[in-house]
Amino acid sequence: MTDTVLSDQSIPGQSQGLFRVRQITDNVEARPVPSIATEPKLNPPASRAYFFGLMAPAIALLACISLYPFCWLIYMSLHDVEIGSAVWNNFENFTKLASDSRYLNGWWLLIQYSVMCLALQIGIGVFLAVALNGARFEKILVTTLLMPMMMAPIVAGLVWYFLYNGTFGWYHWLLQSVGILGPKSILASTGTALIGIVIVDVWQWTPLITLITLAGLKRVPQDQLEANMVDGASQVRNFFAITLPNLYPVLVIAVMLRFMDNFRFIDSVLALTGGGPGNATKILPVYLFEVSFKFFKLGRGAAIALTLLVVTIILGMILVRVFDRQQTRKA
Amino acid sequence: MASREVVHYETPITKALRWFSVAFIIVYLIWTLLPILVMFASSFKDLLEAFKIPAVGDWAGIGVFFEFTPTLKHYNDLFANLNFSSYILNSLVAAGGSAVISVVLGSMAAYSLSRISFKGKNDLFFWIISTRMAPAVAVMVPLYSIFRSLDLVGTLPGLILAYTTFNLPFAIWILKGFFDNVPYAIEEAQMVDGATRPQALMAILPLVAPGIGAFIVLCILFAWNDFLFAAIIGSGGAKTLPVATRELVQPQNIQWGSIMAAGVVTTVPMMLLGLVIRKYLVTGLTMGAVKE
């Protein structure tokens, strides 16, 4: 910023050198500035302190209940933890995992479970959203669909446990009447138990996918759809050529969120099967729960928890990256 | 919005698709509501009536579902014999306490995070969000052993703290998005007029108040519905509704009537709250990534 009132300026369009016009500039910035004034700083130290002060309690509390336990988790995973004592055991907790068939099986089941849940939820959820979009009574219908999500997962699990029951369960009766299932409950045989818990998860969380997809559908540019239609595309073609690509980012978020929730929540599995029959539904978090809080082998549990945590954090990193990309695209 | 006059030609395929989607919606609605209906109905049924189902393949027999004389005895049982009123109180205190702590501290942090930038802010953010995303069982292993040494296991403060592990990061993360939408210019204008920083903050609070209210409700919902933390950290002295409901399942004697009644008691308040904050639900459940 200049501090002169008058300045030499060449008028654009006129050749330099022939005329030099002395021009009085009229803009405010060019007026003399009192010498005491300095550039205003956006975050003077005082206000930074103020903001950090506001932030401090939450960060401190969070550090106490998440960072400290995390360090403790690492410590535990390296020790043989009994009630009240911990003995260093040379990474044994970890080395044992490699030969623990139930641990490896837990991962495999978790992947199977998540993939099945997601495939069904995305398939049904997206179709439902497309069917509902712009339909009559859309609002009421969507609100009705929300109901399962508000239910505590443990209660949902118990209700479905009732429905699956081999002697008085309605759902079991339905499956039997249709001829899909024999007299044995879906949860009672190793071959079908996993499908049983997948159905409950699909029942409870498909509406979330529908909601997310509906939000995405509202943002599909109408003019593109119309332009494509003018070019002679059918509605079906339109859906695959324009709607679906536009939905893609929203769906990625939905998939990641559900994937992580499958890692996080095991309430309904605990209510339905508790990991059984045999180990047929012992997905990794259930196995972890059993090791830590049934047998109280907290050191081993910590090692399992750590591996689970690392995978979740990696998934989280990917998710946050997707979030950011979404945000920048909007801006 | 572009013009609405675009003509949609009905072809046999689109017509079939339309009918199929209507049928699909109806079937889906039935399948999604049926378990809830069964829960409600069974909670008012005598056990013998609740267990009555038609013979396999007897489709006409579905009617027996509706043949019952409503009774309140399971609800009576819950409150008179099973001590559920104290579990409701525990649930309320634990969920409400952690929600209030999380949202109050969280909105302070979210506000300041939204207003300043500093080195490592992104890392701080990632730490906050990853706390939220960590699997509950994995968090619980160290938390349990720490809480046990502090004598917090089985107490309400312990449970409130445990719930705060997932509610606080949620509140910070989601409320930051809210404060980001409030232009800094409003506070600047206030401060030019002589307001101090806290006064300027007060001035913008009404703008974010509905959101803050909604996220208090959402935090209550997450905590209320939790089972794992309550079962481990709250075991003993701080039994909440989901845990008490689960405990009605005993190896030899599953008290289905009471379970269904307890399910209704646990579920209905949350369904109502869900309706109240319907507008913020998608934002809340997707961690702010999707807005309706």
Residue B266 is nearest to which of A152, A270, A288, comparing CB atoms?
Answer: A152
First to last CA, chain A: 31
* Separation in Å, CA of B251 to nearest CA in chain A: 13
- Clarify whether residues A70 and A173 are in a common domain: no
How far does the CA of residue A66 sit from the closest CA of chain B (Å)? 7
- Structure-block tokens of residue A241: 């050529």
Q: What is the mean pLDDT of residues A54-75?
A: 89
**A309: helix, coil or strand?**
helix
Does the beta carbon of B159 lie under 8 angstroms from any beta carbon of chain A? no
For residue A32, is it within any domain?
no
- Domain check: are A180 and A118 in the same one? yes
CB proximity A173 to B under 8 Å:
yes
Portion of chain B with pLDDT greater than 70, in percent: 97
CB-closest option in B53, B270, B289 to A253: B289
pLDDT score for B130: 84
The residue among A296, B226, A67 whose CA lies nearest residue A288 is: A296
Which of A93, A128, A149 lies at the terminal end of a domain, its last residue?
A93
Q: Are residues A59 and A144 in the same domain?
A: no
Please answer yes or no on whether B287 and A257 come within 8 Å at the CB atom.
yes
Give A326's pLDDT tier (boundaries 50, 70, 90): low
Clarify whether residues A71 and A210 are in a common domain: no
In this prediction, residue A6 carries a pLDDT of 44
Shortest distance between the Cα of A15 and any Cα of chain B, in A, equals: 44
Q: How far is CA A280 from the centre of its chain?
A: 26
Q: Is B196 an interface residue toward A (CB < 8 Å)? A: no
Q: What confidence category does residue A324 fall into, taking pLDDT thresholds of 50, 70 and 90?
A: confident
Is residue A14 a part of any domain in this protein? no
Strongest mean pLDDT among A40-54, A306-320, B90-104? B90-104
pLDDT at A2: 42
Yes or no: say if A87 and A80 are a contact pair by the CB < 8 Å rule.
yes
Q: Answer for the pair B140, A30: CB distance below 8 angstroms, yes or no.
A: no
Residue showing tokens 């845990």:
B243
A89 and A203, same domain (yes or no): no
Substitution target from A149, A154, A171, A328 for chain B, most B beta carbons within 10 A: A154
CA distance B87 to B238: 8
Using CA coordinates, name the residue in chain A closest to B267.
A151
Span A206-231, average pLDDT: 86
pLDDT at A10 over 60: no
Give the span between the Cα atoms of A67 and A61, in whole angstroms.
Answer: 10
Cβ burial B1-22 (10 Å sphere, 16+ → b, else e): eeeeeeeeeeeeeeeebeeebe
pLDDT of amino acid A44: 61
pLDDT at A7 over 50: no
Kindly indicate the confidence band of residue A20, based on its pLDDT and cuts at 50, 70 and 90.
low
pLDDT of B218-272, one tens digit each? 999 999 999 989 998 888 788 899 999 998 888 788 888 889 999 999 999 999 9
Confidence at residue B12, expressed as pLDDT on a 0 to 100 scale:
81
Mutation target among A93, A149, A162, A214 for the B interface, most CBs of B within 10 A: A162
* Three-class DSSP category at A79: strand
Q: What total number of domains does chain A contain? A: 2
Contacts of A57 (CB under 8 A, 6+ apart): B105, B108, B109
A116 and A252 belong to one structural domain? yes
What average pLDDT does this structure show over B91-108?
Answer: 94
**Which secondary-structure segment (H or E) carries B114?**
helix B84-115
What is the pLDDT confidence band of residue A329, given thresholds at 50, 70 and 90? low
Indicate whether A52 belongs to any domain. Answer: yes
**Alpha-carbon gap: A159 to the closest alpha carbon of chain B (Å):** 6
pLDDT attached to residue A205? 92
By the 10 Å C-beta count (0-12 exposed, 13-18 middle, 19+ buried), A159 is classed as buried
Asked, for residue A39, whether it belongs to a domain, the answer is no
Residues A141 and A201 in one domain: yes
Give the 3-state DSSP-derived string for B244-261, with helices as H, strands as E and coil as C.
Answer: HHHHCECCCCECHHHHHH
Within 52-111 of A, beta carbons closer than 8 Å to B belong to 52, 54-55, 57-59, 61-62, 65-70, 72-73, 76, 81
Q: Does residue A61 belong to any structural domain of this protein?
A: yes
CA distance B167 to B98: 7
CB B238 within 8 A of CB B155: yes
Q: Which residue has the higher pLDDT, B224 or A318?
A: B224
Mean pLDDT for B91-119 is 91
Distance of CA B146 to the CA centre of its chain: 27
CATH classification at residue A281? 1.10.3720.10
Spell out which residues of chain A touch residue B286, defining contact as CB-CB under 8 Å. 208, 212, 253-254, 257
For residue B282, is pLDDT > 80?
yes
Distance from CA of A194 to the nearest CA of B (A): 19
Q: Is A119 a domain residue?
A: yes
| B residues 46..85 contacting A (CB < 8 A) | 50-54, 56-59, 65
Predicted local confidence at residue B1, as pLDDT: 46
**A125 and A60 co-located in one domain:** no
* Mean pLDDT of the region A284-299: 88
**Which chain B residue has the Cα nearest residue A288?**
B137
CA–CA min distance A10, chain B (Å): 37
Give yes or no for residue A61 having a pLDDT over 80: yes
Binary contact (B165, A320; C-beta < 8 A): no
Please report whether residue A17 resides in a domain: no
Please check whether residue A268 is in contact with residue A158, taking contact to mean a CB–CB distance below 8 angstroms.
Answer: no
Within this chain, do residues A56 and A104 fall inside the same structural domain, yes or no? no
The 3-state DSSP class for residue A85 equals: strand
CB A265 within 8 A of CB A208: no
CA dist A139 → A21, A136, A146, B33 (Å): 68, 8, 11, 16
d(CA A331, CA B245): 47
**Local confidence band at B33 (pLDDT 50, 70, 90 cut-offs):** very high
Predicted ipTM of the assembly = 0.89
Residue B66 pLDDT level (bands cut at 50, 70, 90): confident
Statement to judge: residues A120 and A266 lie in one domain:
yes
A126/A80 same-domain check = no
**Chain B residues with CB-CB distance to A319 below 8 A:** 133
pLDDT digits (tens, 9 = 90+) for A85-132: 677 777 778 888 888 888 999 999 999 999 999 999 999 999 999 888
Query: Do A280 and A308 share a domain, yes or no?
Result: yes
Cα separation of B83 and B155, whole Å? Answer: 17
Two tokens, residue B149 = 């040494």
Mean pLDDT taken over chain A = 81
Residues B230, A171: Cα–Cα separation, whole Å: 30
Kind and range of the H or E run holding A155: helix A153-164
Question: Is residue A3 very low, low, confident or very high in pLDDT (cuts 50, 70, 90)?
Answer: very low
Comparing B251 with A306, the larger pLDDT belongs to: A306
User: 3-class DSSP state for residue B5?
Assistant: coil
Task: Give the model's pLDDT for residue A123.
Answer: 92
The four Cα atoms B256, B257, B261, B264 give a dihedral, to 10 degrees, of: 50
- B121 pLDDT higher than 60: yes
Range of the domain at A200: 98-330
pLDDT per residue as tens digits for the range A136-185: 888 888 888 889 999 999 999 999 999 998 888 888 888 888 888 777 88
Share of chain A above pLDDT 90, in %: 21
